[in-house]
Chain A
């Protein structure tokens, strides 16, 4: 099981990028009772057989790593949900993409902590490649949205440390405003 919900989010987005997605939509909702993540991509998708095998920790798709025999992303997701009164819903269509919805009882004793969300969101923008990532962040009282292309337009190359530091400031300020209700 991952140490935080943010780790789970990074894992889901990394899976989407690895599936060849050009566009990824990510919704993050946190409330006093529930934490909800949704990651939808337009990558290569999975058929029913692949989807069934994806939850087997001793299965990894061919071509990723020649000698690797484990694939822990989705199994860890299911384990976390099971442990903390949550749920996982995966919809996938070959050639069209995959959508994963993950919910968690935030008050459950076994629920992992949310983690460092601003640092995680910066990280989601900093994977290699030309994908678009659209983030919608909501709480019960507020919201903000931003895309990777908007950040790149404002900051320039998102691989530059100075740009990533500014991006982190952006997320920290917006997260703080959600908490403070400003």
Chain B
């Protein structure tokens, strides 16, 4: 693999942006935040973060912003992931390994369905499927 420069990255980004503009011009409307405190790191949050990024990219979902934060105070349920989406309750999911991270992309973000058995910070009971 040859070394990549920042100029190479700019070119790749420009090519990608042209394709993205054709595919979906919608604004970024959702946020996914992965807890990356000591507890999250020890529980495998980095793998979760990578899996979410890869799945979003593979499914062509470009309306979501992904970031990391520190400990969310739910160390017993790490890795934790907060999902903020219009039309959906704000949810903190717990015990989100890489496979659950992919499931989160497909169920919560694409199909707009909650993943019941991973909800830590619960929305109102009547919202849960």
> Which of A30-38, A91-99, A157-165 is near enough to bind chain B?
A157-165
Shortest CB distance B80–A (Å): 13
Cβ-defined contact, A173 with B2, below 8 A:
yes
Taking CB atoms, residues of chain A closer than 8 Å to B94 are: none
Interface size on B, residues (CB 8 A): 43
Tell me whether B29 is interfacial, beta carbon within 8 Å.
no
Choose among B6, B36, B46, B71 the residue that contacts A150 (Cβ–Cβ < 8 A).
B6
Cβ-defined contact, B39 with A72, below 8 A:
yes
**Chain A residue with the shortest CB-CB distance to B69:** A128
Shortest CB distance B114–A (Å): 21
Cβ-defined contact, A161 with B64, below 8 A:
yes
Cβ-defined contact, B36 with A173, below 8 A:
no
Chain A, 123-182, CB within 8 A of any chain B CB: 123, 126-128, 144, 146, 150-151, 153-157, 159-170, 172-174, 176-177, 180, 182
Tell me whether A7 is interfacial, beta carbon within 8 Å.
yes
Number of A-B contacts (CB under 8 A): 129
Shortest CB distance B9–A (Å): 4
Interface size on A, residues (CB 8 A): 54
Cβ-defined contact, A173 with B4, below 8 A:
yes
Cβ-defined contact, A154 with B6, below 8 A:
yes
Cβ-defined contact, B54 with A165, below 8 A:
yes
Which residues of B line the A interface, CB within 8 A?
1-4, 6-10, 12-13, 16-17, 20, 28, 31, 33, 36-39, 41-42, 46, 49-50, 52-54, 56-57, 61-62, 64-71, 73, 75
List 7 contacting pairs A-B, 8 Å CB cutoff, sorted by A.
A7-B46, A68-B71, A154-B9, A159-B66, A161-B66, A170-B4, A170-B8
Given A10-B46, A128-B69, A164-B53, verify A155-B38 contact (CB < 8 Å). Answer: no
CA distance A120 to B68 in the complex (A): 12
Cβ-defined contact, B4 with A169, below 8 A:
yes
Cβ-defined contact, A170 with B9, below 8 A:
yes
Tell me whether A89 is interfacial, beta carbon within 8 Å.
no
Tell me whether A110 is interfacial, beta carbon within 8 Å.
no
CA distance A18 to B40 in the complex (A): 15
CA distance A155 to B73 in the complex (A): 32
CA distance A71 to B31 in the complex (A): 28
Tell me whether A3 is interfacial, beta carbon within 8 Å.
yes
Cβ-defined contact, A123 with B68, below 8 A:
yes
Taking CB atoms, residues of chain B closer than 8 Å to A156 are: 13, 17
